């Protein structure tokens, strides 16, 4: 519709430029033809203006209904050309004024509908001002003056200058508010015109240089341009247009990988890498509080990407390494990407919920079946004498290991304070039964810090097994009189870490002379799984010192 105003502008100005300065010198048929052509362009210009406000910035009617405006304008033009109207006022002046009034009314409707869309309203304000001022001054000074007689009509040749207000204003609006995405259309038009000029130039060169028949030269020109120009045109468009070439189906696997990546940090990194691949911005920044939907800022210099799939919002600046601006098409695309990532995240949550329910079912079955049988074994072994006590000890250890294994099936974090209390009670009970003094310390672990610190089920099980294995080895092989256990909460608030130290004053051989069994090898493997480390050295005062450290994030 905007292109229609540009096409019709010379259709009604050029004939008027001729007959308005040579009324007496023109033959009557030529004057009538030029006047009819002027009215044709004016009617269709007004119809295109109405179509613009029916479509921008909100689509008020379906695109096919936009044809009604030029169809009715053509009917009025036919009636005017066939002299069916009683006078020129009813023939073309009043209809043109009616078109302008209707365009103004539709502009007011668009203004009302965009009251909650500040970006649309800002662009509409500029567009309304330039269009209605430019066209309105011409219509009301020329048509209104001629119909109502309030003011003397201005010379038509000068009045056409008012339309420059419209096009100069639109040029400034395009630069500031990116009206209609005409930056992209401008390149398309230039490439189309370039193709036409290439055919024309090649055709002329063949005629002048080779003296070919015009039909043959035109065919060769079209063939050559089809082979050479159009592939080059496509390459130029991809280089100049600078749009993201990835389609939705191409990036869907990337979105699924992002949603199902276990680490939050890795998901953030992959999401940022995908945005860089799509838009190649010069700058990209993560923000904590993002908008509810994607939108353009700084007249297209930056694109605000809302939180997606539980990931932080991003602000992208200067796309394609600063070679273009963001457009409303980029906003629509990133909104679709965000919605798809949200759906993938919901699918991941549903998967985790199903897996969690399955873990709970397995844990319940193990507790009810295996646990009940071990408990029966304990009761029967305690009722016997002699070596049966070892059977009870083994069964109790098995029950503890079973409970530890069951905790790893849970997905909820465990407060560090609760874990420390359980470990101290169990270790104290074992040391008391063995006649060994327990020195328990919680260095750097204050009551306030424990209230916020948590352990994942996997971390809890690993530290629990490590403590249990260290105490078992000390009581079984070293024969100590005192056992020292220390827990220390270290690191930062963002990446806290827990250190466990177990020392004894027993008479076991130095650790470097040990031949590690399955227990220590398994403990090293478990610590490696959670990114931790295990150190085993001889204590300065004799005995063995075991140290474990792992981050809790």
Residue 57 is given by DSSP the state: S
Selection from 113, 134, 156, 143 nearest residue 15 by Cα = 156
pLDDT tens-digit map of 425-473: 989 988 988 888 999 998 775 544 544 678 887 788 888 888 888 888 8
Can you give the pLDDT at residue 474?
Answer: 82
Can you give the pLDDT at residue 338?
Answer: 84
Contact 483, 439 (CB under 8 A): yes
Q: Find all residues with CB under 8 Å of 335, minimum gap 6, and list them.
A: 293, 294
How many Å apart are CA 454 and CA 281, to the nearest integer?
39
Contact 536, 511 (CB under 8 A): yes
DSSP per position, 495-537:
SEEEEEEEEE---PPPGGG----HHHHHHHHHHHHTT-EEEEE
Can you give the pLDDT at residue 146?
Answer: 58
pLDDT along the chain (553 residues), means of 10: 88 88 82 92 93 88 92 93 87 86 89 78 77 77 62 70 80 66 64 74 76 75 71 62 61 81 82 88 82 76 84 86 76 85 79 74 60 63 56 65 62 81 88 89 63 77 83 81 89 80 80 67 78 81 82 76
Selection from 278, 338, 276, 258 nearest residue 305 by Cα = 338
Can you give the pLDDT at residue 388?
Answer: 54
């Amino acid at each position: 519709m905007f292109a229609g105003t540009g096409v019709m502008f010379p259709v009604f100005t050029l004939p008027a430029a001729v007959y308005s300065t040579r009324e007496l010198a023109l033959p009557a048929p030529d004057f009538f033809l030029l006047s009819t052509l002027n009215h044709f362009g004016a009617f269709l210009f007004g119809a295109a203006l109405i179509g613009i406000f029916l479509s921008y910035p909100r689509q008020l009617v379906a695109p096919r209904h936009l044809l009604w405006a030029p169809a009715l304008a053509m009917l009025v033009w036919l009636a005017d050309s066939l002299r069916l109207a009683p006078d020129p006022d009813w023939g073309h002046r009043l209809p043109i004024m009616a078109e302008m009034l209707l365009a103004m009314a539709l502009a007011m409707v668009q203004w009302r509908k965009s009251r909650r869309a500040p970006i649309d309203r800002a662009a509409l304000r500029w567009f309304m001002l330039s269009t209605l001022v430019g066209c309105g001054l011409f219509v009301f000074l020329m048509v209104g003056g001629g119909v109502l007689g309030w003011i003397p009509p201005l010379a038509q040749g000068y009045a056409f200058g008012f339309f420059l207000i419209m096009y100069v204003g639109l040029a400034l609006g395009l630069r500031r508010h990116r009206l209609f995405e005409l930056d992209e259309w401008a390149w398309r038009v230039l490439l189309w015109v370039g193709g036409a000029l290439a055919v024309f130039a090649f055709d002329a060169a063949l005629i002048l240089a080779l003296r070919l028949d015009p039909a043959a030269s035109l065919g060769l020109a079209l063939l050559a341009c089809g082979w050479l120009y159009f592939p080059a045109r496509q390459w130029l468009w991809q280089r100049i247009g600078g749009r993201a070439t990835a389609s939705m189906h191409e990036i869907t696997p990337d979105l699924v990988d992002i949603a199902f990546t276990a680490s939050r940090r890795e998901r953030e990194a992959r999401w940022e890498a995908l945005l860089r691949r799509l838009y190649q911005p010069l700058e990209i920044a993560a923000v904590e509080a993002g908008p509810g939907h994607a939108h353009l800022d700084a007249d297209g210099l930056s694109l605000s990407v809302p939180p997606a799939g539980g990931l932080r919002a991003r602000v992208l600046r200067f796309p394609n390494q600063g070679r273009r601006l963001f457009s409303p098409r980029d906003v629509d695309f990133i909104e679709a990407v965000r919605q798809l990532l949200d759906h993938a995240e919901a699918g991941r949550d549903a998967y985790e919920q199903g897996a969690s329910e399955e873990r709970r079912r397995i844990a319940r079955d193990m507790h009810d079946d295996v646990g009940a049988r071990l408990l029966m074994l304990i009761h029967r072994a305690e009722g016997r004498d002699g070596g049966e006590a070892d059977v009870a000890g083994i069964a109790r250890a098995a029950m503890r290991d079973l409970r530890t294994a069951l905790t790893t099936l849970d997905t909820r974090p465990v407060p560090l304070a609760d874990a420390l209390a359980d470990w101290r009670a169990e270790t104290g009970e074992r040391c008391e039964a063995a006649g060994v003094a327990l020195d328990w310390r919680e260095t750097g672990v204050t009551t306030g810090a424990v209230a916020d610190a948590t352990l994942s089920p996997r971390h809890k099980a690993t530290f629990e097994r490590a403590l249990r294995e260290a105490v078992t080895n000390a009581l079984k092989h070293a024969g100590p009189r005192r056992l020292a256990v220390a827990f220390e909460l270290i690191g930062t608030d963002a990446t806290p870490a827990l250190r466990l130290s177990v020392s004894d004053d027993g008479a076991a051989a130095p650790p470097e002379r040990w031949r590690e069994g399955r227990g220590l090898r398994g403990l090293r493997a478990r610590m490696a799984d959670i990114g931790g480390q295990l150190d085993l050295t001889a204590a300065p005062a004799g005995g063995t010192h075991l140290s474990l450290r792992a981050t809790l994030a």
